[in-house]
Structure 1
Amino acid sequence: MQKIFLLVAALIFFSAAYAGTITGYVRDEKGKPLSYASVYVKNGRQGTTSGVNGYYQLSLPPGQYILVAQHVGYARKERTVELSDAAVMVEFVLALQQSSLAEVVVKAGAEDPAYSIIRNAIKKRKDHLEELANFSCEVYTKEQLQLRDFPKKFMGQKVDFEDGDTSKRKILYLSETVSKYSRKPPDKDKLEVLSTRVSGNSNSFGLSLPRIINFYQNNILAEGISPRGFISPISNNALSYYRYRFDGSFWEDGVEVNRIQVIPKRKYEPLFSGYIMITENSWRIHSLQLELLKSSQMEILDTLRIEQLYAPFDNNTWVIRNQVLYPAIKMFGFDATGSSVTVYSKFNLEPDFAPKYFNNTVMKYHEGSNKKTVDYWDSIRPLPLQPEEILDYRRKDSLEQARKDPRYLDSLDRLRNRISITGLLLTGETISRQKKRTIIGINPLIRTVSFNTVEGLSAGLSGTWTKRPDSNNVNKVLVLQPAIRYGFSNGHLNAKLSGSYSFGNKYPSVFSVSAGKYVFQFNNDAPVGPLMNTFSSLLRENNHLKLYEAWFGKLGFRKELNNGFRVSAGIAFQDRMPVANSTDYSWRNYKDRSYTPNYPTDLLTAPMERHQALSWNIGLNWKPGQRYVEFPDRKMNLGSKYPEFHIGLTNGVRGLFGSDVDYLKWETGIRDDLNFKLGGMFQYNFQVGGFLSDNSVGVPDLKHFNGNRMLLATPYLNSFQALPYYRYSNSGGFWAEGHAEHHFNGMLTNKIPGFRQLNWFLVGGANALWLDGNRHYGEVFIGLENILKVFRTDVVWTFDQGRIRGAFVRLSLRGLLDGAD
């Protein structure tokens, strides 16, 4: 083995030592640099791309080559090069592509010639899609995000990037990646990251987005930009969405190429605009310059420009040579633009993949891929760095080294750990201790101060202490969450401490423990938000929050296994004590209304008696086809196209530690998100379960269904939006509940003139509940979401035993947490 290794190393050294370098510039006829032009060996595997200043470099073994320079919108040029072991400079001057219209005669009222070309391209779409279904190639990606402007403050906090640079224009993110990208029919792909680098963060692995945006697909999905995807200009139904204009043709290496302008028929549809070049007779994509706008129904970006360039690999196959993305966004005073340049080279159209090469790991970072030296990057990089990028690497890498100095970390902590009124009241505060790798988070007063009829004014302090024991293992995390609260009306002081420890390598495990004396809702899932209950009580004398106190202890363990399996187990003990209302204070007194007792009146006619409860539970979750990103020290889930299944069992143990409960209940369920692309997103969550025995069941141990009687919506796929909180809680032998909703993501609303400019999306769904004794409850709702990007509002109609019981309005704000400790 050692001899083989030495032989391979010698061969690599030999080939590198006798390789020559071709350098030069690609410019237009006026001398302007052509950024991201493709420079490659004709009918060869090697290639590169010019930088922003038009400069390129390409290393090749000695020999004679035909070098091709190509840029979208410019005429291709070839140069014959004789390369020895010395460097050779080859300049390219590309002329604007001259499209000829002389041979085209369009009569009045006749169809534009572009439509015939597009129809032929659509007919050949599937053939060309399958043409590159099996291959491997090397991919170089450079990604950059720059700020053009930003506000001095955001949400009351000073905007500080901690880089010592006070200018408005700055590089926020810069990374490079070299990967091997492989595909195999029908839809398998894999990315192996060989080397990766992030400016200012030597431990990061970068984002790496080398996959080809394939316009031969009918619908082009873009995660994080639009769940509906975008319609390709040559999709099967493209003629229903686009208009086309023939803009002439040109000849390139004996092939006629047609230049077609792509024009959306309607605004506010997921459509491109720009130009696509199609070869005559073979009807392939030669190149394209397309753009998405806000009116294309992108969720976050303002614009996204896409450029692609293809070239012949052999007589029967064309391959992509480069792909450039230009995103731009303006939001909350931040103005940013970026670029993602991808160079594809060393194609192998007959790869010999090892057995089981394609598995659940779709992206793998090799060991040491983020530890390459600067000399390595200077030797391997096909796309030269620009002066500002070189400066960014030097500045941020130096800053990273400075941050390892304990004195610098102390000064940075002092700067970060300044307390603000906004943080204390609304957003919370974070105190970091970088030398010790600890972070202390303090919850804001809006989460720890509330009112209820049991405690009156309840005030407390809660937060999170996080420690990473090992800087080289991100899976190892110790978390402690203390909480203390005092009720000014009943004079009760309660406190608890929760902790968890995460460990493991590729598949993490979590051990958790909590104990103390605290207040609990009778439904331990805590569906009633303290903040909304405060306003409901003080304004309307509706005290939905029903509490009891308990001394408690709880242990839990969760382990993620391979192939989408996750197991969990736990044991819990509670010494449950009833508490009564201690105040009837409100801001407004109603003659026909008063506070209800502090127990679920749907279940009890008197306060709960004190009792003890010991229980254990075990659960199994399985998501078939789970995909992963594999790092050297861990794996990250990417989801699956299949639904997630779960099953759980909970047993109340009588007699042990004085426990009074005795029951056994089960539940199982299935949930999934189904992306119908242009048809929107359908989500569902169905569960069934029941009690196998119910000899002694405390009220908190009943099967509770998460209801809601507040204006603010609760989680849509896990609760009912208008169900009274404890009306159908039970210990029956069977129950079933279902939640489903469909997000139209712009479908239908984009057809309404005027309204479609708001970019609000329609959403609708239903919730249903079935119980023993033919009892049933249901809800249907319809609403609008994406209001100002964060708001959603619904109208909910309820049906109890088949009869309409009323209509309710619900509001939600993306990211709002109504929970409190």
Structure 2
Amino acid sequence: MKRLLTVLFIAFFCSNFALGQGQITKIRGKVFDAQTNEPLPYVNVTFKNTTQGTITSEKGEFFLESRTATDTLIVSFVGYKPAMLRVKKGVYQEVSVNLEPEAIELEAVVVKPGESQANRIIRNIIANKDKNNPANFSYSCKNYNKIQVDINNIDEDIKKRKVFNQFQFIWDYVDTNAVTGKTYLPIFITESLSDYYYRANPKMEKEIIRATKMSGVNNESVAQFTGKIYQSVNIYDNYINIFDQGLVSPISNSGMLFYKYILLDSMYIDNRWCYQISFRPRRKMEPTFTGDFWVNDSTWAIVKAQIRLSDMVNLNFVNDMVATAEFMPLNDTLWFPKQMTLFVDFNLTDKTTGFFGHKTISYSDVKLNADFPTEVAEMPTNLKVEEGALDQKDEFWDQARPFELTPREAGIYQMVDSIQQVPMYKTFIDIIDMFVNYYYTVGYWEIGPYYQTYSFNEIEGNRFKVSGRTSNKFSKKIMFDAFLAYGDKDERFKWGVGSLYMINKNPREAVGVSYRSDIEQLGQSPYALTEDNILTSFLRRNPNNKLTLVKDFTAYYEKEWFVGLSNKLTFSHRTIYPTEFIPFTPVLGGNDLKSITNATFTLNTRWIKDERYVSGEFEKVSLGSNWPEVNFDITRSIKGFAGSDYDFWKLHLNYYHKFNVNPIGYARFILDAGKIFGKVPYPLLQLHEGNETYAFDRYAFNMMNYYEFASDQYVSLYYEHHFQGIFLNHFPILRRLKWREVATAKYLIGSISNQNMQVLQFPAGLGEVSKPYMEVSVGVENIFKVIRVDALWRLTHLDNPNIQPFGVRVGLQIIF
């Protein structure tokens, strides 16, 4: 599980990429008017005899980092005398530059209305985007990727704390960041070399990681995230997606509605005449960047670009983000990425300890319209870590890197390995692992989830539970789990055991088997808080008396054919027992049934194109895709087989799509439909997902009770829209709170055939939904960055007993 912590962080950082030799010279500075002492914006700052440079911000601030810097800075601006400043190579330094105004006599100028030169250039860029966008042609290349993670805001008080007495050797690696001026300590570095293949139409991308090196980790599951395949967004897109925020690209088709452009300079780059354009947002808190770029005057292709998050963008935990892109000419008309960098400052506040994330991608050996080799085209997954990729020697890396690591960078590997040998570090990681994964590891066993240790309900009274599973130290191929629970009211033990065996991890192939005898809430959303969650016990809005004892044996085989397409064959044998609140009384008379036994085979087919995911030794967590996820289930039960009481077929389709609706946020859409063929009692019908807690559940009908509606054929629709503060940002007081608007609408219609109405008497309150059920909500999320509050209205079936036409639900979520 500790490895999964690292995997999740790297994957999270990689899946949100925004753009596509010695010591490092780092300069942070500010430029002023020498007479007025006012800061000067849009001043050019370059290293002498190079094209490496930047411009000052609206506050006159600038930063530069370079591995090949000269010892002199040239600072120039129209109307001022150029200044030359000596700097020290290979160190961090802060400078202040005063520019002297220069008197220039100009002839009379006649100003006529018309379009600015900068806007004319932007229109040409937009008109030529399709032919310049690297995503629109096919190619192969070699990639070098470097990712580094740092702890920032390291000061003397931190160094003196007793908790760091065993770590004094790490302070030799403390450095200063040129972008923010904060000190930082590197804690993780990883590098990879890969062969990358991309085809534009039909789109296909494949990557083979030939070599990878990671500090403190030697794990193939982590290694897959050191390549390029998850880094796909580029400056030519109209919107650059950063952690679910669709930020307007400076060369977006609608860029002139969001940005002001200024033509700053022109010069030759690679013997081609280029213009320099700066851009800044027209309004505060809009999803935009600041920065500048160079563009070729004949192809209108981007040559160099630097973008930075504009002030007050409504983005959580991200204090700053800077991305650069440098392109190289492949021929007379095409510019291709040469190197891209990304820097992100993650902090709760500007002064607290947080994290820096750095990423560098270098491209080489680019071949246009390259064919996919047979071994690559036939890969079952988009990404492959070559055997032996983790075993390359230092000599190999010294030759393979496109640039030399600094002594600090090279030393991170040894430092991190040394840290992991300190006992206090191991204890700290164990505690973090427990809170993130809800388990506490003790040798071969992981105890948890800890939040299920105690709960209470109407059936069991006080419920006590101990549970756990084997750790990766026990095995990385097979995992066992078990639990034991006891209720002091029903005075009954509940228990369960299970196992999972990994046949293959990439593509995933696994078998599992489990047995449990425990209470269950039929008709509960699969993503709801579990009934033995302590929070569920306190957040009930109705008495928790609809629980049912279920004895369930399940065995399954799961096979992933290639990334995004998988099948799962499941055999389930379930025995459901009645309670005084949920009796099983035949419609035609006779004694109540003592139980219902059901044995089924279910074939699930899951499809999601271009899926991104992270995986540990046993777990696989989807990071989603730009495409929808589709699940289709076929279930068969044969009467008499394995004691099954009923004969039926069941079809189920679920369509889920999360997509951007730029520039007004993003949305989720869910379509769920099903039909049962055969005669079944109500516990085997589709008991529609209600919610009898005050916790918001996206996948349930939050104003519906449990056992309120059932169907043997049905269709439900769900739409949720996150506006990302587009309205609230216009109010100065609310703007500072960074609250965001959210709205949902849910619709359900279904029916029950006469034959299924005649099997068992329905409990009081349970009926069909031939008249549509609808509910809507509006809410505010991002309260204190983690709280969501929704006001919900139930629009139909208002005469049903014990219902609420209006309610408020609260959710906890971590969003960016």
Alignment of 1:628-647 (within 5 A): 639-647=624-632
Tell me which residue corresponds to 2:783.
787
- CA offsets per residue over residues 320-366 of structure 1, 9 Å max, x none? 33222221121274322243233333333464544695687443332
Per-residue deviation, 1:252 = 4.9
Tell me which residue corresponds to 1:462.
467
Q: Is the 8 A contact 1:546 1:599 kept in 2?
A: no
Tell me which residue corresponds to 1:62.
none
Per-residue deviation, 1:199 = 1.5
Separation in 2, partners of 1:417, 1:289:
37
Q: Which runs of 5+ in 2 are unaligned?
A: 1-20, 29-46, 56-67, 80-103, 157-161, 175-183, 753-769
Per-residue deviation, 1:176 = 1.6
Tell me which residue corresponds to 1:478.
479
Separation in 2, partners of 1:217, 1:118:
14
Specify whether residues 466 and 105 from structure 1 end up closer, same or farther in structure 2 by C-alpha distance, changes over 3 A only: farther
Separation in 2, partners of 1:632, 1:494:
30
TM-score, normalisation: structure 1? 0.73
Specify whether residues 579 and 347 from structure 1 end up closer, same or farther in structure 2 by C-alpha distance, changes over 3 A only: closer
Separation in 2, partners of 1:630, 1:508:
12
- CA offsets per residue over residues 146-195 of structure 1, 9 Å max, x none? 1124799xxxxx99999776758421211122233444334544443222
Tell me which residue corresponds to 1:336.
355
Separation in 1, partners of 2:690, 2:233:
44
Q: Which has the larger radius of gyration?
A: 1
Specify whether residues 201 and 269 from structure 1 end up closer, same or farther in structure 2 by C-alpha distance, changes over 3 A only: same
Per-residue deviation, 1:722 = 0.7
Q: Is the 8 A contact 1:749 1:755 kept in 2?
A: yes
Q: Secondary structure at the match of 2:413?
A: helix
Alignment of 1:170-189 (within 5 A): 170-186=185-201, 187-189=203-205
Separation in 2, partners of 1:358, 1:456:
59
Separation in 2, partners of 1:552, 1:252:
70
Specify whether residues 684 and 505 from structure 1 end up closer, same or farther in structure 2 by C-alpha distance, changes over 3 A only: same
Q: Is the 8 A contact 1:72 1:287 kept in 2?
A: no
- Residue 763 in structure 1 maps to residue 731 in structure 2: no
Separation in 2, partners of 1:802, 1:517:
37
Per-residue deviation, 1:279 = 3.7
**Structure 1 range deviating more: 266-275 or 754-763:** 754-763
- Residue 724 in structure 1 maps to residue 724 in structure 2: no
Specify whether residues 799 and 463 from structure 1 end up closer, same or farther in structure 2 by C-alpha distance, changes over 3 A only: same
- CA offsets per residue over residues 447-471 of structure 1, 9 Å max, x none? 232222222222222233334666x
Separation in 1, partners of 2:431, 2:190:
33
Tell me which residue corresponds to 1:441.
447
Q: Secondary structure at the match of 1:754?
A: helix
Q: Secondary structure at the match of 2:244?
A: strand
Counterpart amino acid of residue 217 in structure 2: N
Separation in 1, partners of 2:353, 2:591:
55
Tell me which residue corresponds to 1:620.
604
Specify whether residues 809 and 307 from structure 1 end up closer, same or farther in structure 2 by C-alpha distance, changes over 3 A only: same
Alignment of 1:172-571 (within 5 A): 172-186=187-201, 187-203=203-219, 204-205=222-223, 207-208=225-226, 210=228, 211=231, 214-221=234-241, 225-252=242-269, 255-293=272-310, 295-331=312-348, 333-349=352-368, 351-354=370-373, 361-397=381-417, 415=427, 430-433=440-443, 438-444=444-450, 446-467=451-472, 476-480=477-481, 482-523=482-523, 529-530=531-532, 531=534, 534-535=537-538, 542-562=542-562, 564-571=564-571
Q: Is the 8 A contact 2:503 2:509 kept in 1?
A: yes
Separation in 2, partners of 1:263, 1:721:
43
Specify whether residues 599 and 675 from structure 1 end up closer, same or farther in structure 2 by C-alpha distance, changes over 3 A only: farther
Q: Secondary structure at the match of 1:757?
A: helix
Per-residue deviation, 1:303 = 0.8
Separation in 2, partners of 1:305, 1:105:
41
Alignment of 1:642-681 (within 5 A): 642-655=627-640, 659-681=644-666
Separation in 2, partners of 1:504, 1:367:
15
Q: Is the 8 A contact 1:247 1:261 kept in 2?
A: yes
Separation in 2, partners of 1:113, 1:701:
70
Separation in 2, partners of 1:806, 1:297:
33
Counterpart amino acid of residue 720 in structure 1: F
Separation in 1, partners of 2:304, 2:737:
34
Separation in 2, partners of 1:172, 1:190:
30
- CA offsets per residue over residues 614-639 of structure 1, 9 Å max, x none? 31121222315345789999999765
Q: CA RMSD in A?
A: 4.4
Tell me which residue corresponds to 1:735.
714
Q: Is the 8 A contact 1:99 1:259 kept in 2?
A: no
Q: Secondary structure at the match of 2:389?
A: coil
Q: Is the 8 A contact 2:608 2:629 kept in 1?
A: yes
Alignment of 1:564-603 (within 5 A): 564-580=564-580, 597=581
Separation in 2, partners of 1:507, 1:672:
23
Specify whether residues 789 and 779 from structure 1 end up closer, same or farther in structure 2 by C-alpha distance, changes over 3 A only: same
Q: Is the 8 A contact 2:524 2:690 kept in 1?
A: no
Q: Secondary structure at the match of 2:663?
A: helix
Counterpart amino acid of residue 266 in structure 2: S
Specify whether residues 287 and 615 from structure 1 end up closer, same or farther in structure 2 by C-alpha distance, changes over 3 A only: same
**Structure 1 range deviating more: 619-628 or 775-784:** 619-628
Tell me which residue corresponds to 1:812.
811
**Structure 1 range deviating more: 355-364 or 603-612:** 603-612
Q: Which runs of 5+ in 1 are unaligned?
A: 1-22, 27-31, 36-53, 55-67, 75-89, 153-157, 581-596, 817-821
Separation in 1, partners of 2:265, 2:247:
26
State the aligned residue count. 691
Q: Secondary structure at the match of 2:687?
A: coil
Separation in 2, partners of 1:205, 1:283:
37
